[in-house]
Amino acid sequence: MTVRAFTLADATLERSPGQDADVFVGNLVDERDGAPVTIGYGRYGPGVSLAETMAVDDVMIVLEGRLTVESDAVALDAGPGAVVHMPKGVAVTIRAGDEGAVTAYVTYPHWRPAHA
């Protein structure tokens, strides 16, 4: 494997599987590349919310906008530059702020086969 660099423009964003809300994800590195982690960008529409039980460890880095991540009745607010760690097995509700949000994510192991 070689070093690769990406920007949001490199990602092909698709609606997040199983979600009706405006949550879009685009993998840049995943199980097809032979790397141990999946890397991608996500985009959340204004005010959308998404409830999920994590199938993998997911690290989300907020690049634009704001998100609130609620788990165990605790709500964590995350703006640009914040990093949120959502461990495998936890139940979370992610809510985007009024301007929506753009994130980068890294999951271990790969989220797509774990999600299927």
Q: Which stretch binds its own copies (CB under 8 A): 18-26, 45-53, 75-83?
A: 75-83
38 to 57: interface string for its own copies, x by CB under 8 A: -x-x---------------x
- Beta-bridged to residue 96, according to DSSP, are 67
Closer residue to its own copies (CB): 3 or 20: 3
Q: Which stretch binds its own copies (CB under 8 A): 17-25, 45-53, 74-82?
A: 74-82
Q: How far is the CB of 26 from its own copies (least distance, A)?
A: 11
In degrees and rounded to multiples of 5, residue 31 shows phi and psi of -60, -20
Q: How far is the CB of 46 from its own copies (least distance, A)?
A: 19
Residue 114 found at the interface with its own copies (CB under 8 A): no
